[in-house]
């Protein structure tokens, strides 16, 4: 029960911030659960996926009530790509666990790739690189595929790189990009959970923890989406940058703590 309550608090906080910034919460949940150190890497990735998937459902529904013009074609193409990318990312993650004798090696790979993506995202928002303003449908699909693959492989369910790349590639304002990011996260995590169900199944996980994880994810998604609708783009950007910096530090600390 103590672990369940601890996970509940972590997920409420992470998903609230994740829904505001479009990060999805997993970029915070994953390293936090790694730091707590109660469950295996595979279990943590599963619990993170459940939390982020639940948050994405609530946040997407709530975000559509906010005054943002969602382009349906863009959303559908990115979502389809992220679904396929999620399948490939989950497969790659499972293969890494089978290939390396130590879980810590896989965790190191995740930490390095996560920190690199976080640094890119932070630099983009600081340097404000000129948008490429890509228009062709193939780019929407390709970006969704890449984002779905990377987020599932890293076990973070989305992350700051979603928002940064959406802004860079298509010239989308940050508040709009957070909405598309959450939609992308929904489909990448849906594919992850389907893949797990069709391969290893869910019996290997302690499903009793879902009684804490799912309500926490719903509360966080609701609060984050409501706050996103109220906060200005400048404040959303500040939240985004602050969280990115904190998560970089947390990931580095986790990496230094590995044997």
Block mean pLDDT (10 aa), the chain, length 259: 87 82 72 84 85 80 64 82 87 88 84 86 82 85 88 72 84 79 80 84 87 91 77 78 83 75
- pTM > 0.85: yes or no: no
Residue 159: what pLDDT? 63
- What residues does each domain of the chain span? 2-256
DSSP 65: T
Residue 178: what pLDDT? 75
Cα–Cα dist 230/247, whole Å? 24
Cα–Cα dist 125/225, whole Å? 21
Residue 223: what pLDDT? 84
What is the per-residue burial (b if ≥16 Cβ within 10 Å, else e) of 52-66? bbbbbbbbbebbeee
Cα–Cα dist 138/140, whole Å? 5
Residue 6: what pLDDT? 92
Q: 133 — phi, psi (to 5°)?
A: 50, 50
DSSP 131: P
């Amino acid at each position: 029960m103590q672990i369940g309550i601890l996970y509940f608090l972590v997920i409420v906080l992470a998903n609230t911030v994740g829904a505001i910034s479009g990060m999805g919460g997993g970029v915070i949940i994953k390293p936090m659960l790694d730091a707590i150190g109660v469950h295996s890497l595979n279990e943590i990735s599963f619990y993170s996926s459940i939390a982020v998937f639940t948050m994405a459902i609530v946040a997407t529904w709530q975000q559509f009530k906010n005054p943002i013009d969602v382009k349906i074609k863009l959303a559908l193409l990115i979502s389809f790509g992220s679904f396929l990318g999620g399948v490939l990312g989950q497969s790659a993650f499972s293969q890494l666990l089978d290939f390396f004798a130590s879980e810590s090696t896989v965790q190191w790979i995740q930490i390095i790739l996560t920190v690199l993506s976080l640094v890119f995202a932070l630099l983009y928002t600081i340097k404000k690189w000129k948008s490429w303003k890509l228009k062709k449908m193939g780019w929407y699909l390709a970006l969704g595929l890449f984002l779905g693959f990377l987020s599932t492989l890293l076990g973070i369910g989305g992350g700051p790189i979603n928002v940064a790349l959406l802004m860079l590639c298509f010239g989308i304002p940050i508040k709009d990009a957070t909405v598309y990011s959450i939609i992308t996260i929904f489909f990448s995590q849906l594919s992850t959970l389907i893949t797990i169900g069709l391969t290893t199944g869910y019996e290997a996980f302690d499903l009793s923890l879902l009684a804490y994880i799912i309500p926490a994810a719903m509360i966080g998604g609701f609060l984050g989406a409501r706050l996103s609708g109220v906060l200005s783009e400048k404040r959303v950007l500040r939240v985004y940058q602050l969280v990115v910096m904190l998560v970089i530090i947390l990931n580095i600390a986790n990496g230094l703590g590995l044997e």
